[in-house]
């Protein structure tokens, strides 16, 4: 039974928490401000966090601005997902030499770094869960991914404000952190107080909170934290009606709507690069000059890239419409068949970071409207 | 510091195993068959219809179906179309090729026992069907009438000519066609579909196995349906870009399916609607 104690932490306690994680050998990673965006990088203390910053997000729009308070987690998600640390953008899979009689594998370069992720949002936790099923939930397990995943300590943060492109509430992934974390924090500011409600999500999270030795949460802290999460839930910037969506997409493969998206889509692959669940990769084999030492690399790929569907003779998906259709029908539809959940966690990154502001929720709605229209038309035809 | 053993096991699923080329024979102007034996004393429990990832050291890896052999000696017939397949086809006896596998689904041969069989192959599509035909020949009495319908682009593209003659001698009804004839060709000209109408089989008991270009499989399956076969009695082998064969890289997705894991052999009902959509 997990310790149900709710602890009350101050900012200095959070600094001590980071120090304890570092002492335990974790490489602490968290949100930081760089180049006008909030990105995940190594942090040593709360001084490295984006204190007093928030983000403004809309289709094709992301700006940081000052909040006017000292909140450490007063923003939503930036362009990067935690995916980059568990499933690196480019990874040496193996290296080996050939001695004529055998292949001789070289030692692994990927030392077993244990990361502590600080400030993981509910949608991002859900995304990590999705990738766990991709790399560990089917016949073949990616041992390198699973080793990194098992080593990761997750300090999650509940969102108390929703961003302009957020729709986790509709995807059932947030805003409340529910599973997969070690510790869940909720930041509560008020008056002169800057407090965090801390709850354990795992045995090791409970052990760490106990070592931290903070007192129990004051009576108002839990209720104010819950109110903050409820505020986030009711102020989502976007909505997505998921009812019957996989079936709707399956019968919309020849919808004219794909062409209307393709008129705007640049097939730039930004959406797949920022998506926390997109898992496609390409494999590249290289060799040194004398051909005796070979290396295999794996790097992120995108279903929007021209060569992605290459088969002798050309690409299967030649048009942008076909590529967008693949992305959307996979993300919101066939993902359910493959992995038992949607591939979308409602983080809104693909909307904010699309250079032309294509909005996945609006396109899903557009497909739904065309589908309804199609259903009406045969009836109308039958009457005449 | 990780040891070599750890390095070998951490990414074991992506690490090719060394198999020695023991024979290489040219089947046509652009197809070579490699025979491979494990350099580490391993065996492979493969089934007809499945494939291996074949690795040309330092150059790359491609999915290639089994075209024959046994657990100790693997046969792969490779059409030279790109950098990797050319490198593999150029391997000489004594050198090493990397092998990962076997992967994917097998031809549902057992379901065909006791009835008639129609096998339709287009081009290099005959290679993945070859071990299936060989199994049928080895257990010929388990099957009724067996038709092999084979279409090649031109007479010089015909593969496994000696096998075709051998199979005829073993009671397989082999019908051939070419898309484009040359001066020496006296046989049928046209698409494989036209051969379906001439084949003799009892649609109620027939199982069909198709491998070739998608358009050829689509029209052949539709023709077999028209001839009275149940859609579930038709199996076909699909091809997509594959880079891992493990369900991770995502390239081989076709609708809800990962061709590497769920295929390459599918029954027609699972493919029927998907194959009617352009650019899926």
End residue of a domain, out of A213, A233, A253: A233
Chain B residue at shortest CA distance from A91? B11
CA distance A95 to A97: 7
In which element (H, E) is residue A265 found? none
Write out pLDDT tens, residues B168-219. Answer: 999 999 999 999 999 999 999 999 999 999 999 999 999 999 999 999 999 9
Q: Could you tell me if residue A239 is inside a domain?
A: no
Write out pLDDT tens, residues A289-318. Answer: 988 999 999 999 999 998 999 998 789 999
End residue of a domain, out of A203, A233, A263: A233
CA distance A199 to A6: 5
In this structure, are B154 and B229 located in the same domain?
yes
Q: Could you tell me if residue A221 is inside a domain?
A: yes
In this structure, are B137 and B268 located in the same domain?
yes
In this structure, are A20 and A71 located in the same domain?
yes
Please give the tally of structural domains in chain B: 2
Residue A197's pLDDT is: 97
Q: Could you tell me if residue A304 is inside a domain?
A: yes
Q: Which domain holds residue B87?
A: 11-103
In this structure, are A249 and A221 located in the same domain?
no
Q: Is A272 helix (H, G, I), strand (E, B) or coil?
A: helix
End residue of a domain, out of B103, B137, B169: B103
In this structure, are B86 and B172 located in the same domain?
no
Domain of residue B227, CATH code = 3.40.50.80
User: Which of 137-156 (B) contact A at CB < 8 A?
Assistant: none
A281 touches chain B (CB under 8 A): yes
* DSSP symbol at B110: G
Task: Provide the mean pLDDT of chain A.
Answer: 94
Tell me, what's the ipTM?
0.93
Please give the tally of structural domains in chain A: 2
In this structure, are B98 and B129 located in the same domain?
no
Contact predicate B244/B261, CB 8 Å: no
In this structure, are A119 and A195 located in the same domain?
yes
Write out pLDDT tens, residues A102-156. Answer: 999 988 776 668 999 999 999 999 999 999 999 999 999 999 999 999 999 999 9
End residue of a domain, out of B103, B118, B135: B103
In this structure, are B124 and B193 located in the same domain?
yes
A103 touches chain B (CB under 8 A): yes
End residue of a domain, out of B72, B103, B134: B103
In this structure, are B71 and B142 located in the same domain?
no
pLDDT category of residue A377 using cuts at 50, 70 and 90: low
Among B6, B18, B59, the residue with its CB nearest the CB of A103 is: B18
Smallest Cα distance from B272 to chain A, Å? 13
A42 touches chain B (CB under 8 A): no
Q: Could you tell me if residue A102 is inside a domain?
A: no
Q: Could you tell me if residue A105 is inside a domain?
A: no
In this structure, are B149 and B169 located in the same domain?
yes
In this structure, are B99 and B124 located in the same domain?
no
Q: Which domain holds residue A272?
A: 245-383
Contact predicate B73/B35, CB 8 Å: yes
Residue A204's pLDDT is: 96
Residue B13's pLDDT is: 86
Among A105, A303, A321, the residue with its CB nearest the CB of B7 is: A105
By CB atoms closer than 10 A (0-12, 13-18, 19+), residue A260 is middle
Query: In this model, does residue A337 exceed pLDDT 60?
Result: yes
CB contact under 8 A, B251 and A294: no
* DSSP symbol at A270: H
Query: In this model, does residue A63 exceed pLDDT 60?
Result: yes
Query: In this model, does residue B10 exceed pLDDT 70?
Result: no
Residue A1's pLDDT is: 59
Write out pLDDT tens, residues B138-168. Answer: 999 999 999 999 999 999 999 999 999 999 9
In this structure, are B129 and B261 located in the same domain?
yes
CA distance B55 to B199: 39
Q: Is A8 helix (H, G, I), strand (E, B) or coil?
A: strand
In this structure, are B77 and B192 located in the same domain?
no
In this structure, are B261 and B157 located in the same domain?
yes
In this structure, are B166 and B247 located in the same domain?
yes
* Chain pair A-B, CB pairs under 8 angstroms: 144
Q: Could you tell me if residue B6 is inside a domain?
A: no
Residue A378's pLDDT is: 60
In this structure, are A19 and A73 located in the same domain?
yes
Residue A101's pLDDT is: 81
Write out pLDDT tens, residues A186-211. Answer: 999 987 899 999 999 999 999 999 99
List the B60-65 sheet strands across, edge first.
B60-65, B51-56, B96-103, B17-28, B31-38, B73-79, B68-69
């Amino acid at each position: 039974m997990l310790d149900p104690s709710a602890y009350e932490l101050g900012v200095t306690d959070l600094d001590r928490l980071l120090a304890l994680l570092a002492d335990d050998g974790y490489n602490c990673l968290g949100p930081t401000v760089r180049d006008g965006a909030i990105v995940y990088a190594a942090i040593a203390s709360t001084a490295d966090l984006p204190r007093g910053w928030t983000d403004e997000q809309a289709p094709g729009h992301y700006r940081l601005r000052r909040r006017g308070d000292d909140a450490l987690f007063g923003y939503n998600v930036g362009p990067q997902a935690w995916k980059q640390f568990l499933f690196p953008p480019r990874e040496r899979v193996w290296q080996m030499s050939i001695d004529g009689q055998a292949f001789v594998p070289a030692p692994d370069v990927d030392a077993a770094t244990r990361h502590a992720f600080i400030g993981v949002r509910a949608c991002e936790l859900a995304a990590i869960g999705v990738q766990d099923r991709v790399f560990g939930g089917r016949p073949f397990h990616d041992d390198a991914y699973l080793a990194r995943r098992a080593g990761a300590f997750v300090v999650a943060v509940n969102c108390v404000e929703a961003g302009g492109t957020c729709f986790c509430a509709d995807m059932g992934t947030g805003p409340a952190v529910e599973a997969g974390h070690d510790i869940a924090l909720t930041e509560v500011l008020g008056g002169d107080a800057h407090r965090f409600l801390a709850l354990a999500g795992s045995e090791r999270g409970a052990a760490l909170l106990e070592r931290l030795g903070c007192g129990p949460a004051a009576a108002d802290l839990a209720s104010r934290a819950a109110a903050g999460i409820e505020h986030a839930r009711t102020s989502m910037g976007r909505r997505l009606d998921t009812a019957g969506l996989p079936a709707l997409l399956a019968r919309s493969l020849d919808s004219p709507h794909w062409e209307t998206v393709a008129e705007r889509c640049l097939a730039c692959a930004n959406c797949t690069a920022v998506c926390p669940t997109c898992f496609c990769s390409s494999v590249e084999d290289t060799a040194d000059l004398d051909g005796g030492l070979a290396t295999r690399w794996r790097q992120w790929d995108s279903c929007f890239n021209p060569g992605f569907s290459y088969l002798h003779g050309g690409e299967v998906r030649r048009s942008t419409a076909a590529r967008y259709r693949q992305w959307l029908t996979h993300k919101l539809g066939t993902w359910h068949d493959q992995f038992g959940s949607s591939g979308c966690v409602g983080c809104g990154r693909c909307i904010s970071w699309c250079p032309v502001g294509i909005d996945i929720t609006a396109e899903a709605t557009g497909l739904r409207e065309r589908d309804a229209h199609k259903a009406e038309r045969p009836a109308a035809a039958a009457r005449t | 510091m990780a040891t070599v053993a750890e390095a070998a096991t951490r990414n074991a699923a992506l690490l090719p195993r060394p198999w020695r080329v023991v024979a290489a024979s040219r089947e046509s102007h652009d197809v070579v068959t490699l025979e491979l034996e494990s350099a580490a004393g391993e065996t492979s429990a493969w089934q007809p219809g499945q494939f291996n990832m074949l690795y040309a050291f330092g150059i790359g890896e491609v999915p290639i179906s089994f075209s024959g052999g046994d657990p100790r000696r693997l046969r792969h017939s490779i059409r030279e179309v790109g950098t990797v397949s050319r490198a593999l086809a150029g391997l000489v006896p004594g050198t090493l090729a990397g092998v990962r596998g076997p992967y994917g689904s097998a031809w549902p041969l057992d379901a065909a026992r006791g009835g008639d069989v129609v096998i339709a192959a287009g081009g290099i599509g005959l290679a993945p069907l070859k071990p299936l035909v060989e199994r049928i020949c080895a257990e010929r009495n388990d099957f009724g009438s067996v038709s092999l319908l084979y279409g090649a682009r031109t007479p010089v593209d015909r593969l496994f000519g000696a096998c075709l003659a051998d199979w005829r001698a073993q009671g397989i009804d082999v019908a051939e066609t070419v898309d484009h004839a040359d001066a020496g060709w006296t046989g049928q000209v046209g698409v494989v579909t036209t051969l379906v109408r001439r084949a003799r089989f009892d649609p109620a008991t027939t199982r069909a196995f198709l491998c070739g270009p998608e358009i050829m499989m689509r029209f052949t399956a539709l023709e077999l349906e028209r001839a009275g076969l149940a859609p579930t009695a038709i199996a076909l082998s699909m091809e997509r870009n594959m880079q891992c064969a493990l369900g991770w890289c995502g390239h081989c997705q076709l609708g809800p399916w990962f061709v590497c894991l769920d295929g390459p052999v599918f029954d027609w009902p699972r493919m029927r609607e998907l194959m009617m959509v352009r650019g899926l």
